[in-house]
Amino acid sequence: MSAGGGLLVAGTTSDAGKSMLTAGICRWLHREGVRVAPFKAQNMSNNSAVVLDTAPDGTLRAGEIGRAQALQAYACGLAPSVRFNPVLLKPGSDRTSQVVLLGSVVGSVDARNYRAMRDRLRDTAWATLADLRREYDAVICEGAGSPTEINLREGDYVNMGLARAADLPVIVVGDIDRGGVFAALYGTLALLSPADQALLAGFVVNKFRGDAGLLQPGLDALAELTGRPFYGVLPWDSRIWLDGEDSLAYGGVLGRPAPAHGSQWLRVSVVRLPRVSNATDAEALAAEPGVLVRLTTEPADLADADLVVIPGSKSTVDDLEWLRGKGLDDAVRAHVAAGKPLLGICGGYQMLARSITDEVESRRGSVPGLGILPSHIGFAARKTLGRPTGTAFGGVPVAGYEIHHGLVTAWDEAVEPFVRLPDGTGEGAVAGNVYGTHWHGALESDGVRRAFLTAAARQAGRSGFVVAPDTRFADLRAATVDLLADLVAEHLDTAALLRLVEKGAPAGLPTVGPGAPR
């Protein structure tokens, strides 16, 4: 395959399966020997990854991209790069988002000033895609939300705007598990302009359960109505749950709990903050047999938990206020007072302090924290980004990544660090049954996760819980992307997809009504 091929994977809705389908196509192409890269022009998510890119002067520079693009890069056999997600919007409230451009924060936007910044973001995204297409045989692009957001089409540079600018063929994936998939697919096409419709080449149905024969009449009817084929039907598969990026992917029990190795389970409640950031940290716990992880907003769910986790937040002070309003602060204190373990990660760690001074994110000044740790937090204008390493739990190797403005400015009392750094200093805190760290991803280090869960089970009185000795989180991630590629190879018309990637959308695709409103 010559350089320059491409495809845009769009969806009828958020969480329709765009990210995972893109990862699956990337992995399948990589296994076929194609030099492939992922791309998402603009992502809106607080689940981000820290990547290291080589700057023009040869030094390594840390930047942020969406976690889905990091997974897709892994599927391609590539190190993640800021080029794979040039624009990342991180919502701090319902109205404002922090803007990350090629990995670095360049400001914040709301509905009023987005237009002023949009041209710069668009031009950077499109130029980045053009560079990638010159470098790789194929670039598999992921859209955002729906390509038929008719109120936003004029300024769109992520979905059909990107497809038109780069002459990319488009496939649309719909989640049949939600119902109404045929109407959603038809409506997605029918509300596009003729020029946009000319690039929409066909459809994929995702998360199908049951007898495929019952679905076929609907597929045939919609293909006839639209003049476009279905490239396949992907089955619902319970093994696909890791690295969920969209907020809609979280709710209830996380993952697919495997049977306990010992006589008891360990019950974990993760507080589902409104502006939760990198809640994927909980996935490492959910990967362990005998560990039941629930995401919750209810104090009652903390009452019978063995371990409580307060995850990261894009707006620590605002989410702390929400936590108090829900009565979760009292539930957390009662849990700690009972001697049971509590883990705070990044923003959740900051909430445990005695005071928080924030003139950066919430701009609320000084507010009281939960007072569970004897620390004080201050917010710096410059964001801390990094991929540090160290040791924890008596010398166990640990790696993680940091994304935060808040810093510990003082300790009223000395505490043991959660992590020992190579220079001998410490990070985070261990104070009896309370643990805290700014490091995301630390629990993906298998030895640290096992040591932490063993200590947490002891403190929770779960003497019958036995941590599995052989769970490897990296193997689980590899198995996930290989499974996605297997599903693509088995259930999609890969020959037709490859033609799309190489040759673009076929000529003469019909226009269906009513078309885009004037």
User: From the candidates 26, 141, 346, 491, which is the catalytic residue?
Assistant: 346
pLDDT at 467: 97
Question: Looking at this protein, which amino acid is placed at residue 34?
Answer: V
**What length is written for the chain?**
518
Structure tokens at 370: 């939960």
Q: In what order do the strands lie in the sheet with 355-358?
A: 365-368, 355-358, 375-386, 402-411
Question: Which residues neighbour 300 within 8 Å (Cβ) at sequence distance 6 or greater?
Answer: none
Is the same domain home to 165 and 36? yes
**Chain center to CA of 205:** 22
> Are residues 279 and 228 part of one domain?
no
Tell me the CA distances in angstroms from 483 to 9, 74, 239, 255, 479, one per residue in order. Answer: 19, 14, 8, 15, 6
Question: Of 449, 467, 485, which residue constitutes the final position of a domain?
Answer: 467
User: For residue 385, what is the enclosing H or E element?
Assistant: strand 375-386
Q: Which 3 state secondary structure label does DSSP give 298?
A: coil
CATH number reported for the structural domain that contains residue 441 in this entry: 3.40.50.880
Whether 461 is covered by a domain: the verdict is yes
> 14 lies in a domain?
yes
Rounded Cα–Cα distance for residues 480 and 339 (Å): 37
Q: What share of the chain is helix, strand, coil (3-state, %, to 5)?
A: 35, 30, 35
Kindly state whether residues 294 and 199 are assigned to the same domain.
no
Q: Is residue 141 annotated as part of the catalytic site, yes or no?
A: no
Other C-beta atoms lying within 10 Å of the C-beta of residue 357: 17
Residue 257, in any domain of the structure: no
Domain endpoint, select from 467, 488, 512: 467
Answer yes or no: do 482 and 454 share one domain.
no
- Is 490 a member of any domain? yes
Same domain, residue pair 235 and 332: no
Domain count, the chain: 2
Residues 98-156 have pLDDT tens digits of 999 999 999 888 877 888 899 999 999 999 999 999 999 999 999 999 999 999 899 99
Which among 302, 309, 209, 293 is positioned nearest to 258, based on CA atoms?
A: 293
pLDDT at 5: 95
Report the CATH number at residue 482: 3.40.50.300
Distances (CA, A) of 91 to 70, 94, 123, 277: 19, 7, 22, 10
Give the C-alpha separation, 75 to 312, whole Å: 26
CA–CA gap between residue 330 and residue 349 (Å, rounded): 16
Low-confidence ranges of the chain (pLDDT < 70): 1-2, 245-251
Q: Do 111 and 152 form a contact (C-beta atoms < 8 A)?
A: no
Residue 440: active-site member: yes
Range of the domain at 91: 5-240+477-503
pLDDT of residue 247: 47
**Integer-rounded Cα radius of gyration of the chain:** 23
Which residues, listed in sequence order, are joined to residue 408 by a DSSP beta bridge? Answer: 377
Q: Indicate if 179 and 272 belong to the same structural domain.
A: no
> Quick one: three-class SS letters along 471-503?
CCHHHHHHHHHHHHHHHHHHHECHHHHHHHHHH
Q: Is residue 511 part of a domain?
A: no
Q: Report if pTM > 0.85.
A: yes
Give the CA distances from residue 500 to residues 92, 199, 229, 497, in Å, rounded to whole numbers and listed in that order.
38, 10, 12, 5
Cα 258 to Cα 244: distance, rounded to the nearest angstrom: 19
Position 348 in a domain: yes
CA-to-CA distance for 45 and 403, rounded, in angstroms? 13
What pLDDT score does 111 carry? Answer: 73
Contacting residues for 246 by C-beta, under 8 A, at least 6 apart: 14, 15, 19, 45
Find out whether 176 and 206 touch, Cβ atoms under 8 Å: yes
| Residue 427, amino acid | E
Residues 102 and 227 in one domain: yes
375 and 482 housed in the same domain: no
Among 335, 404, 405, 440, the one annotated catalytic: 440
pLDDT at 246: 55
Is 227 a domain residue?
A: yes
486: phi then psi, degrees, rounded to nearest 5: -60, -40
190 and 272 co-located in one domain = no
Interatomic CA distance for residues 273 and 261, integer angstroms: 31
Residue 177 phi/psi, 5-degree rounding, is -65, -25
Residues 446 and 482 in one domain: no
| Residue (of 315, 19, 239) closest to 145 by Cα position | 19
Same domain flag for 453 and 497: no
Is 143 part of any domain? Answer: yes
Kindly state whether residues 25 and 165 are assigned to the same domain: yes
427: burial class by Cβ within 10 Å (0-12, 13-18, 19+)?
buried
